[in-house]
Amino acid sequence: MNRAIVSGALALVSAAACLVLAPAASAAPQACVTSTLNTGYEAQGTITAVKSSTSSCSDLNLTYTDDKSADNYDYYAGRLRRSSDGSWFTCSRGYRTDVKVYDGNHSVSDPFFFLCTDVADGTRFGVASWLDAGDTVKITH
Ligand SMILES: [Ca+2]
Ligand SMILES: [Ca+2]
């Protein structure tokens, strides 16, 4: 006599495929683009640029400066052009004259060097210097 043996089904516990996705950095430097500009004397210089519409960066980060005077430092501010009437204004962060910005590279993640924040795509921008004009600067945006 056969006894029906009900074998318990083996529950195969599949290992949950836990794909841990690294959170996307909000301002990954490699996703930014960098433009080289010159500075004007408390105004935008003759070389300006347009805020990238494809990068993931929303700020204007000052990542390189070369002051052209003997001092080799200056104080910088971002300038933006209004699309409405083409006029220029200095970003609200303004010039901060408490710390001299010496020639060289500056960290893209150092908030001190965020000249303007939350800049709309397509906005034309420039950089102003406080002491004298004609400095070469790079903006990562
Ligand atoms: Ca210099
Ligand atoms: Ca200068």
What is the 120 CA–ligand 2 centroid distance (Å)? 27
What is the 102 CA–ligand 1 centroid distance (Å)? 8
What's the rounded mean pLDDT across residues 43-65?
96
Can you give the C-alpha Rg of the chain in angstroms? 26
Distance between CA atoms of residues 100 and 76, nearest Å: 9
**What is the per-residue pLDDT across 83-121, written as a single tens digit (0 to 9) for each?**
999 999 999 999 989 999 999 999 999 999 999 999 999
pTM of the model: 0.78
Closest ligand by atom to 42 CA: 2
**What is the per-residue pLDDT across 20-31, written as a single tens digit (0 to 9) for each?**
444 444 544 458
What is the 41 CA–ligand 2 centroid distance (Å)? 8
What is the 30 CA–ligand 1 centroid distance (Å)? 26
